[in-house]
Structure 1
Amino acid sequence: MDSLGNVIPTRGTSIVFDVAASHGGAMSVLSDFYDELVATQRPGKVYLVHSTGQFRSTESVRVLKYSWPKRNWIFRLAFDLFMAPMLIGVTRAERVVSLQNLMVPFTGKPQTLLVHTPLPFVDVRFAFREAPLLWVYQRIMAPAILYSIRHCELTIVQTRWMREAVLARTGAPSESVQVIPPAVPQTRTKGRDSGVPATAPTFFYPASDVVYKNHALVVEAVEQLQTMGLSGFTVIFTLTGNESTRIVELKRRSESLSLPIRYVGTMSREEALDKISKSVLVFPSYVETFGLPLLEARQAGCLILATDLPFAREVLAGYERAEYFDPFSAASLRDRMADIILGHCQTTGVRGESS
């Protein structure tokens, strides 16, 4: 299989669940999956169950919207345990596809599962005080995810490193876990201006406020660049600065030191792709399955500063405009940014902390 849409049989009735996706990479994957289903002529019927109003029913794809599971975990649990199995029965679906890390229980139907959270499979551990939701995922949700992988007919992951981690952790049969990377349509990225100005470069980081996205490292690196006397550059975060006490403090620190960091808030996918094409993508996240902006920037031909971890090395393998840095060293990122600001960057595709 070379695309997620191919997990849907061409005949019969299938039902796809993804009420979890509402923004970020998960929503991008769902949007591309929907576009693929709509564009593919198939005699079978597909029901798509989700929580936003972004998608519309077509002749071959029937969209079912349920927003109430997003209210809290109790509503989500009620949906998964009762509503989802009922929908499978009502639609008479022969194949169940879950794009939200967990299988649908009590169905008796063959299931395909997309696992896109790396949290059960990484060495980094989060404390409850630091990140309660991530702690819940690693301590409470992880066993359910592992159980789902063991009991689904087919599990899809997005990278080879993730497949190896899943097989090692679950003991699932090798043939039951397959890699299908996200596919960004070339029409979304081609034809854009991917040149980076020789002066006044912009470093762009499209990411949410989750702690492992590592915005603090960028702020610290910019502080060090300012101490070195370097100027004439801008950093853009897709944050408002009010997302959490941690982000509020980062923004306050940025403003008090007059750092050239702009907090612009969320962007549409098209706006983000346009900004990527005119900027240097900086990607300091240290917990990812794939890192979709890396692929989007690669397809646009942009210069990329990426964390030196297996997921980034895999996504950017062979790409000559990528530089790597230690995600736990502000000095490492500072040096890569300084090279670009000073015009000394030599993008060989192999330069980085492990080189």
Structure 2
Amino acid sequence: MHYVVIDFVVRDNSGGILSILQDVNKFARRHSGDFFTFVVGTENLVVPAPNINVILRHDLQRSYTKRLFFDFFGGAKFINSLHADVVISLQNTAVLGLNVPEMLYVHQPLPFEKNYRFSFFKKSERKMAFYQHFVGSIIKMNLRLFHNGAITVQTHWMKKELKHYTRQQIFVTRPSIDRSDYSGQVLGKKSKNFFFPSTAMIYKNHQNLIEAYKSLPEKIKAEYNLILTISKDEYTKLYKKTEDDPHIKFYGRIPRSEVLTILSHSILVFPSKIETLGLPLIEGMILQRQIAASDISPVIEVTEGYDSVTYFNPDDRDSISSALLKVLQMNLSKRKFEDSYKNGWQAFFDNVGAIKDEK
């Protein structure tokens, strides 16, 4: 089978969405009997193989106007010329007008978030407001016009939200977790820190977490530092204030292997206001850590049934600080984490094959 995979938005610093492309690339390399054409906007993101062809479209990454025209009008001619059996779009919008079925992967939650509205009037929120309101309206319009294929999301919460905009079939499939990444980690270590691994986005809610942490008794802060994977400069840029509490450690970007090592002896704190999946939550459960997390729908869904988690209101600093005190009294999880989505990418491609066969 010939798959055409479209992801010309992703860059080499794109975090979670880059991981999705890399996972699909790994799947392609393992399935040498099929042929894959990747249409991307940045060089060296796709590892080559005899069954993999890469087409670079820098122009579509550099110009949002060109991308819109490609998705809604002109792109079908180009993609159809590649003679795919099925097309996979990993970038939240489908290429409309294709003559073969398409699997659309929607992983951007901002357009569907109702509990938090970003403002164009706040400088720190303008970028997110643009994605939530302008890009969000484009994604929703694209969903309404997409009629040839199916959609994949990572949570049932997203599936419920997307049903307001499309009648296409929606699959819930989470990315598979590579357990080999955890092979060197020792379970059962005593917690030494509070740890929040994340990027520097306003909706990650670092300020409320920091203020809640600072309200804890000095004795507790001396024993449990708060470790963040953003820099001091990033925090200052986001919130227009500096932070010099000696118990708060700004590590900046660190390798994933180091994230897992720190997490293996820490309490995971997850104050994010908006999420699709929340990979650190799954990582924390695999390592059987105590977790204090936001009481938003995606987080509750992902951690359902876990035996060492407590929730808080991410907008209420008192609620966060109370949860931090509560989680200190909780034991490490005694359950071995069972990933019900352990064959996630195989299931994804099974679904892709199914829509091709239906056609």
TM-score where L is the length of structure 2: 0.81
Measured after TM superposition, the shift of residue 116 of structure 1 is 0.7
1:29 Cα offset (Å) = 2.3
Q: Against the structure 1 CA distance between its residues 271 and 32, is the aligned structure 2 distance closer, same or farther, given a 3 Å change threshold?
A: farther
Matched, 1:14 2:9: no
Give the secondary-structure state (helix, strand or coil) at the position aligned to 1:149. helix
1:143 aligns with 2:137: yes
Q: How does 1:159-178 map to 2 (within 5 A)?
A: 159-167=155-163, 169-173=164-168, 176-178=169-171
Q: Which moved more, 1:302-311 or 1:103-112?
A: 103-112
* Distance change in 2, residues 1:35/1:321 (3 Å): farther
User: What does residue 345 of structure 2 align with?
Assistant: none
For residues 177-204 of structure 1, the C-alpha deviation after alignment (integer angstroms, 9 at most, x for no partner) is 1111122112223441243425xx2222
**Structure 2 residue aligned with 1:179, among 162, 172, 175?**
172
What per-residue deviation string (whole Å, max 9, x for no partner) do you get for residues 60-116 of structure 1?
222334455444534644665788546524532232111110112443332110111
Going from structure 1 to structure 2, the CA distance change for 1:129 and 1:28 (only over 3 Å counts) comes to same
CA contact (8 A) 1:182 1:292 kept: no
SS at match of 2:253: coil
Cα deviation 1:18-52 (Å, max 9, x = unaligned): 222332221222222222222234x2211123325
Identify unmatched segments of 5+ residues in structure 1.
Answer: 1-10, 350-355
Root-mean-square deviation (Å): 2.7
Do structure 1's residue 344 and structure 2's residue 310 form an aligned pair? no
State how far apart, in whole Å, the 1-side matches of 2:234 and 2:131 are: 20
Q: Does 1:45 align with 2:35?
A: yes
Q: Displacement of 1:264 after TM fit?
A: 1.5
Determine which of 118, 126, 131 is the counterpart of 2:118.
126
In the superposition, relative to structure 1, how do residues 304 and 21 fare at CA in structure 2: closer, same or farther (>3 Å)?
A: farther
Match of 2:16 among 13, 17, 25: 25
Equivalences for residues 207-226 of structure 1 within 5 A: 207-226=198-217
Q: Which runs of 5+ in 2 are unaligned?
A: 335-359
Percent of aligned positions that are identical: 28
The amino acid that maps onto 1:344 is: Q
Give the corresponding residue for 1:154: 150
Equivalence for 1:316: 303
TM-score (norm 1): 0.82
Answer whether contact 1:241 1:248 (CA < 8 A) is retained. Answer: no
User: Whole-Å Cα distance in 1 between the matches of residues 200 and 136 of structure 2?
Assistant: 22
The yes-or-no answer on 1:288 pairing with 2:281 is no
Instruction: Tell me how many residue pairs correspond in the alignment.
Output: 326
Q: 1:300 aligns with which of 287, 304, 308?
A: 287
Seen in structure 2, the aligned counterparts of structure 1 residues 311 and 95 have a Cα distance that, compared at 3 Å, is: same
